[in-house]
Amino acid sequence: MKPPLFDFQRAETVDHAIALLGEHGDEARLIAGGQSLMASLNFRLSSPGLLIDITRLDDLKGLTAGADGLSLGALTCHSEILLSQDIARNAPLMTAAAPHIAHEAIRNRGTIGGSIAFADPAAEWPACALALDATIEIAGPAGIRRVPATDFFKGLYETELGPGDLVRAIHVPARPAGERHSFQELTRRHGDYAIVGLAALAVWRDGRLAMPRLAFFGVGAKPVLATAAMAELDGSAGDAAAMGRACEALTAELDPFDDLNASAETRRHLARTLLRRAVARLTWEGADA
Partner 1 sequence: MPESIPVSLTVNGRRVEATIPARLTIVDFLRDHLGLTGTHVGCAHGVCGACTVRVDGAIIRGCLTLTAQLDGGTIETIEGVADSGEIADLQEAFYARNAMQCGFCTPGMLLTAASLKARGRPVSRQEIRDHISGNLCRCTGYQAIVDAIDTVVNTDGVNADSDGGRR
Partner 2 sequence: MTPPDSASVRAPIGEPLPRPQSRRFLFGRGRYVDDVAVAGVAHVVYVRSPFAAADITGIDVAAAKAAPGVIAVVTGSEIAEWHDPWVATITNLPGQKSPPQHALALDRVRFQGEPVVAVVAESRAEAEDAAELVEVDYAPLEAVVDMETALDPATRVVSPELGDNLFWRMDIDPPGVSEAFARSTTVVEETFHIGRQTLAPLEPRGIVADYDPAEQRLTLTFATQVPHIMRYVFAKHLRLDEHRVRVVCPDVGGAFGLKIHTYGDEVATAILSMMLKRPLKFIADRLESFVSDVHCRDHRVKARLGLDAEGRITALEIDDLTAIGPFSVYPRSSGIEALLVCTFTGSPYHLPAFKAAGKVVFTNKNVMCQLRGVGMPIACSVGEGIIDKAARAAGIDPLDFRRRNLIPDDAYPYTTASGMPFESLSQQAALEKLAALMDYDGLRREQAELREQGVYRGIGLACFVEGTAPSPAIYGEGGAPISAQDTCTVRLEPSGALTCLVGVSEQGQGAEAVIAQVTAAAIGVAHTDIRVLMGDTDATPYGGGTWASRATAIAGEAARKAGVRLRANILGLAGQLLQARGETLDIRAGTIVDAATGEARMTLRELGHAIHFRTTEFAPDTHPEIAVTEQFSVRSRMFLYTNGAMGCHVEVDPETGFVTVLKVWCVEDCGTVVNPMLLDDQIRGGIVQGIGNTLYEELVYDGEGQLQNGSFIDYLLPMAGEMPDIEVAHIETPTAESGLGAKGAGEAGIIGAPGAVLNAINDALAPLGASVSRQPYTPERILAALGKVPSRD
Chain contacts with partner 2 (rule: CB under 8 A) = 1-5, 39, 43-44, 186, 188-192, 195, 260-263, 265-266, 269-270, 273
Query: Nearer Cβ to partner 1, position 108 or 263?
Result: 108
Report the distance separating Cα 216 and Cα 183, nearest Å: 10
| CA neighbor of 153 nearest in space, from 176, 174, 175, 122 | 122
Q: Pick from partner 2, partner 1, none: which does 108 bind, CB < 5 to 8 A by kind?
A: partner 1
CB of 150 to partner 2, least distance (A): 28
Query: Nearer Cβ to partner 2, position 41 or 81?
Result: 41
Q: Pick from partner 1, partner 2, none: which does 270 bind, CB < 5 to 8 A by kind?
A: partner 2
Query: Nearer Cβ to partner 2, position 107 or 168?
Result: 107
For 179-183, which contacts have Cβ atoms below 8 Å and span 24 or more sequence positions? 179/203, 179/211, 180/204, 180/281, 180/282, 180/287, 180/288, 180/289, 181/92, 181/93, 181/96, 181/282, 182/96, 182/277, 182/278, 182/281, 182/282, 183/93, 183/96, 183/97, 183/100, 183/124, 183/128
- Pairing state between β 63-66 and 153-155: unpaired
CB of 126 to partner 1, least distance (A): 19
Establish if 22 lies at the interface with partner 1 (CB under 8 A): no
* Given 109, 180, 181, 267, the residue binding partner 1 (CB under 8 A): 109
**Residue 278 near residue 198, CB atoms below 8 Å:** yes
Q: How many CB atoms lie within 10 A of CB 154?
A: 13
Q: Pick from partner 2, partner 1, none: which does 8 bind, CB < 5 to 8 A by kind?
A: partner 1
Query: Nearer Cβ to partner 2, position 40 or 150?
Result: 40
Residues 161-200 that bind partner 1 (CB under 8 A): 189-191
CB of 279 to partner 1, least distance (A): 27
- Pairing state between β 7-10 and 50-53: parallel
Query: Nearer Cβ to partner 2, position 44 or 89?
Result: 44
Q: Phi and psi at residue 116, in whole multiples of 5°?
A: -65, -45
Report the distance separating Cα 86 and Cα 88, nearest Å: 5
Q: Pick from partner 1, partner 2, none: which does 273 bind, CB < 5 to 8 A by kind?
A: partner 2
Query: Nearer Cβ to partner 1, position 176 or 191?
Result: 191
CB of 5 to partner 1, least distance (A): 6
**Residue 170 near residue 136, CB atoms below 8 Å:** yes
Query: Nearer Cβ to partner 1, position 43 or 178?
Result: 43
Of 31-39, 118-126, 245-253, 258-266, the window that binds partner 1 (rule: CB under 8 A) is: 31-39
* Given 11, 14, 34, 161, the residue binding partner 1 (CB under 8 A): 34
| CA neighbor of 198 nearest in space, from 261, 88, 113, 276 | 276
| CA neighbor of 131 nearest in space, from 284, 282, 289 | 282
CA dihedral 276, 279, 280, 286 (to 10 degrees): 170
Q: Pick from partner 2, partner 1, none: which does 195 bind, CB < 5 to 8 A by kind?
A: partner 2
**Residue 25 near residue 34, CB atoms below 8 Å:** no
Positions touching partner 1 (CB under 8 A) are: 1-10, 31, 34-35, 38-39, 41-43, 50-51, 53, 55, 79, 99, 102-106, 108-109, 189-191
